[in-house]
Amino acid sequence: SMQTHGDRSHIMDYTTGPLLYPSLGQNVSFLFNLTANSSSGYAGLSPQTSSTIGTILIVALTINMVSMGCTMEATKIMKNILKPKGVATAILSQYGVMPLTAFVLSKAFQLQGMMTVAVLVCGCSPGGAFSNILALALKGDMNLSIVMTSCSTLLALGMMPLLLYIYCQGFANVHKLVPYTQIVISLALILVPCGVGIVINHYRPKYANIFLKVRASGESVATVIVMLVVEMGEAFMTVLAPSLMAISFIMPLIGYSFGFVISSLFKLSHSQRRTVAMETGCQNIQLCSTILKVAFPPEETGPLFMFPMIFGIFQLSEAAALIVLFRCYERFTSKEKGNGDGRIPGVHAR
């Protein structure tokens, strides 16, 4: 109806930013016009498909959070709390660098409306479980990695809504789009399976390993299913807007870089620096997608709940490139040391 269209006009004005191609901007505007008048809330997706995607995201995130709880050990957490330098540096990087980066990039690319909110949600989220795998591949400090992921997730209950409120003030009318109460409730409910995982790990540690295996397969299957389902709809083109693609590429790089630099300034060990870098740049993309899908009205988010998935592809690809570079550097330096050890001083090859 005309009334509905008028009420939703503030949602569609972000498609006119100068960094979007005109044709793509028109397509996105058309898609959100469909969204505003669709009972399913998603252009090109039926209510059944929308419900299925939501269920997949919630189930996958629940498994992920139970598994995260299974990795938490009170003794390791207390050890890092009693010597908080590493954790404090990591938390400062996580909730200092990424939200500010999301804000600056949103301003630089002149995003408006729900596009800004989607980017800020990714920037203000805690670290993801993938960061533990990445830290392991980089021979990082695994105790610090697990404790940092745990602490940033627990702190998200207060920090994520607070940071969203602070940074949304910098955009006209954007703060009105954010349902802070629903986000807090969603985060509180997400912490419940995490607590279940802690109990399982403490009283039934053998079952904890089962959840860790299920998480590894469940995350991959869930991501593939959601990507395939949404790819069938034209609405997926919204999250492929040039501005969002550029932000997805730049944000993880800044997180990895500043995480390493800040931990270096605090003189952490090299393994801890690599860990903080991965924890800072690697966001919990499943949590971001679930928040955008569950806490926000579907007619406002449209297909933008898929933006964290695009962000996740870039953050994992860039992390993989860094891991390859680190392994090459490690192999090169080990050969140099090997050659140096093999020489006998004063004896020259003829």
Nearest to 235 by CA among 54, 20, 22, 30: 30
Map out the domains of the chain as residue ranges: 24-30+43-328
Residue-wise pLDDT tens digits, 13-49: 434 443 443 333 333 443 333 333 333 444 445 666 6
pLDDT tens digit sequence for 53-103:
667 777 777 777 777 677 666 676 677 677 778 888 888 999 999 999 999
Rounded Cα distance between 167 and 257, Å, is 22
- Residue 251: the pLDDT is 96
DSSP 211-265: HHHHHHHHHHHHHHHHHHHHHTSGGGGGGG-HHHHHHHHHHHHHHHHHHHHHHHH
What does the pLDDT read at residue 254?
96
**Of 262, 285, 241, 222, the residue nearest 85 (C-alpha):** 262
**Cβ proximity of 304 and 238 under 8 Å:** yes
318 or 236, higher pLDDT: 318
Q: In terms of Cα–Cα distance, which of 53, 207, 183, 70 is closest to 125? A: 183
Highest mean pLDDT among 140-144, 167-171, 338-342: 167-171
The alpha carbons of the chain give a radius of gyration, in whole angstroms, of 22
**pLDDT tens profile 185-223:** 878 877 787 778 878 877 777 777 666 666 555 555 555
Supply the pLDDT for residue 157.
86
Structure tokens at 86: 């590493």
Measured between alpha carbons, how far is 101 from 107 in angstroms, rounded to an integer? Answer: 10
pLDDT at residue 307, rounded to an integer: 87
Dist. CA 105–CA 101, nearest whole Å: 6
| Residue 202: count of CB within 10 angstroms of its CB | 14
**Which segments of the chain does DSSP mark as H helices, in order?**
2-7, 9-12, 22-36, 47-71, 74-82, 85-108, 113-124, 130-137, 142-168, 180-203, 205-231, 242-265, 270-281, 285-294, 298-301, 307-342
For the entire predicted model, the pTM comes to 0.72
Find out whether 319 and 203 touch, Cβ atoms under 8 Å: no
Residue indicated by tokens 């910098």: 170
24-30+43-328 has which CATH code?
1.20.1530.20
Measured torsion, CA atoms of residues 310, 314, 316, 319, in degrees rounded to the nearest 10? -160
pLDDT band with cut points at 50, 70 and 90 for residue 1:
very low
Structure tokens given for 295: 């806490």
What residues pair up with 127 in beta bridges, in sequence order? 283
| Contact assessment for residue 297 and residue 41, using Cβ atoms and an 8 Å cutoff | yes
